[in-house]
A = this chain, B = another copy of it.
Amino acid sequence: MTKIAIVYYSGYGHTAKQAEAVHAGAASVAEAKLYRIDANGDLPEADFAALADADAIIYGSPTYMGGPAWQFKKFADASSKPWFGQAWKDKVGAGFTNSASTNGDKGSTIAYFITLAMQHSQIWVGTGVMPSNAKAHGPNDVNWTAGFGGALAISPSDASPDEAPRKGDLETARLLGVRVAEVTKKLRG
């Protein structure tokens, strides 16, 4: 069965909610599993092995200071081991990120995920969802935050993980999971 791995870091819980939405979408189509990087930037050896066995690896992290959290980057640097033998080659890749500000360099985090995936010779899949960008639209509409390369979420600085990411961003995340799983099924059976 097609296996989708979602590997992410979350600092305060907002990105974890986004990860769960991606997971819900992927799990509606294929086998999907969440792998959470810990506060020290570590992922158990067994989880690294599971990633090597997956058909798609989706990356997630909050955007901190204009890029993925250092804990995510520590995971990425540790992936130089599978990189060296190109163990993740031809797996599907995708990404998602959350931060407080409307833009706030979220695009920079997604760009990094793509760069990482390209070094691993993954095949990148974006949101595939048109943005909601008319005057009447707001945070409850799908892809109002308007990410193409990856799913973006805005969680205002004073919003708890119970309040944000909001409806539209969570739906965008869910749809990313669906899309990645569908492409992966076609590509890898």
**A13 / chain B contacts, CB cutoff of 8 Å:** none
What residues on B are CB-neighbors of A157 within 8 Å?
133-134
A99 to B133, CA, bound (A): 10
Q: Is the CB of A133 within 8 A of B118?
A: no
Measured CA separation A83–B104 after assembly (Å): 13
Among the 9-residue stretches A14-22, A27-35, A46-54, A143-151, the one with 4 or more Cβ atoms under 8 Å from chain B is A143-151
Write the nearest CB–CB distance from A129 to chain B, whole angstroms.
8
Q: A148-B118, A156-B135 are in contact. Are A66 and B112 (CB under 8 A)?
A: yes
Contact partners of A68 in chain B: CB under 8 A: 73
Q: Which of B118, B125, B127, B152 is close to A66, meaning CB atoms less than 8 Å apart? A: B118
Asked if A114 is at the interface of the complex by the 8 Å CB criterion, the answer is: yes
Copies in the complex: 4
Scan A49-89; emit 1 where CB is below 8 A from any B CB, else 0.
00000000000000011111111011011011001001001
* Residues 123-138 of A contacting B (Cβ, < 8 Å): 123-128, 130-131, 133-135, 137
| Cα–Cα, bound, A186→B104 (Å) | 28
A41 within 8 A of B: yes
